[in-house]
């Protein structure tokens, strides 16, 4: 089984939640691997920090290139970062890496880049990638002012694209967010998918701690029905 982890924006906790999901499934004895198809922003070794975290949280040993087939230097929109690097994101390369990882594991957690509608090349975006991978999406909602609009607009895109939403996660970004619980309750009323957990604000993120705040029982039930 695989899941595409997307977010209401960039910097909302997709990597934290993706790694937490890897730890949660690994605790059930599953062979797990993280997959970051596209990353914008890399270090001197041409590695991306998000992809490195996913690799560290995986129990399946895979090469960096398998886990992150596209990594571009500039931390800007991926299609622009690719263009600046003289490249273009080709889905066939992504699918080849995904198939390799899926063949070695029980669970593949695919982490998107930016928000769900971010362009990946001149014609395709993350919505297209998720549809072609044909896997359910998990939405990470960055809990801060403006999250309701961002979350509900993203859910509308998911529904219109006829992509299954396996659940959503509330990622608390503002330790002092006013009416936090009321915002979460509002989203629970309007999102027709299970709330998988609320990740409290962390001054220093820890995916293993975050995993303790997730309830993946609905995902386990979903997989049992497949």
In contact, 54 and 15? CB cutoff 8 Å:
yes
Tens of pLDDT, residue by residue over 108-118, are 999 999 999 99
pLDDT band at 62; cut points 50, 70, 90? very high
Q: What is the CATH number of the domain that holds 26?
A: 3.40.50.300
To the nearest whole number, what is the mean pLDDT of the chain?
Answer: 96
The pLDDT assigned to 226 comes to 67
Q: What mean pLDDT is predicted for residues 34-42?
A: 95
Active-site residues: which are they? 36
Tens of pLDDT, residue by residue over 127-181, are 999 999 999 999 999 999 999 999 999 999 999 999 999 999 999 999 999 999 9
Portion of the chain with pLDDT greater than 90, in percent: 94
pLDDT band at 185; cut points 50, 70, 90? very high
Tens of pLDDT, residue by residue over 192-215, are 999 999 999 999 999 999 999 999
Domain that includes residue 64, residue range: 2-224
The pLDDT assigned to 169 comes to 98
Structural domains in the chain (count): 1
């Amino acid at each position: 089984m695989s899941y595409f982890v997307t977010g209401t924006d960039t910097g909302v906790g997709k990597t934290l939640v993706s790694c937490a999901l890897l730890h949660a499934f690994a605790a059930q004895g599953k062979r797990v691997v993280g997959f970051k198809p596209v990353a914008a922003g890399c270090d001197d070794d041409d590695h991306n920090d998000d992809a490195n975290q996913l690799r560290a949280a995986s129990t399946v040993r895979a090469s960096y290139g398998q886990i992150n087939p596209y990594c571009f230097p500039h931390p800007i929109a991926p299609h622009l970062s690719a263009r600046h690097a003289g490249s273009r994101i080709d889905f066939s390369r992504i699918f080849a890496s995904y198939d390799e990882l899926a063949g070695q594991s029980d669970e593949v957690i695919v982490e998107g880049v930016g928000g769900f509608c971010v362009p990946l090349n001149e014609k395709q975006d993350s919505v297209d990638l998720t549809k072609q991978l044909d896997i359910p999406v998990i939405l990470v909602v960055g809990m801060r002012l403006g999250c309701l609009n961002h979350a509900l607009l993203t859910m509308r895109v998911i529904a219109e694209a006829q992509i299954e939403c396996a659940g959503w996660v509330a990622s608390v970004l503002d330790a002092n967010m006013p009416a936090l619980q009321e915002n979460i309750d509002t989203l629970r009323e309007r999102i027709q998918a299970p709330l998988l957990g609320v990740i409290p604000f962390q001054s220093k993120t820890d995916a293993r701690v975050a995993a303790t705040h997730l309830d993946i029982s609905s995902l386990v039930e979903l997989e049992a029905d497949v």
